[in-house]
Structure 1
Amino acid sequence: MNVMRERRLRGAIPTQREVARILGVKESAVSKWERGVSKPRADKLPMLAKLYGCTIEELLASESEAQTQ
């Protein structure tokens, strides 16, 4: 499971709607990031890492890499 989705489901971060509002993106973009369909733009990574309580590297790791960490 994607680190973003995992942390959100554990209640560690806001809803997709809140994340989208904070970052100024569509909710569908946050959904795609969580599902691994797409990656966020580089300018969004520092705020995403802060919101999700992880590193930028963790955000960008593929699911197979994330599972081994």
Structure 2
Amino acid sequence: MLAAYPFISRIDAPLLGTLLSLSAGMLVYVGATHLLPEAEHQRRPFAWLAFLAGIATVIGIVLTE
């Protein structure tokens, strides 16, 4: 954070929002491609429950903004 702050502080808000949304999208993609196959192999109800709880958390964060 300390190393990136001088560069990030110079970026205007709309561009920073776009870059952060792209970064978040890539994180969700990588997480989903690695976690979904693992959840299918586990065959435990808690794996799907944890996955759905994560989705609900993201939806809750988006809706409260």
> TM-score of the superposition, structure 1-length normalised?
0.25
Structure with the largest fraction of helix: 2
TM value normalised by structure 2 = 0.25
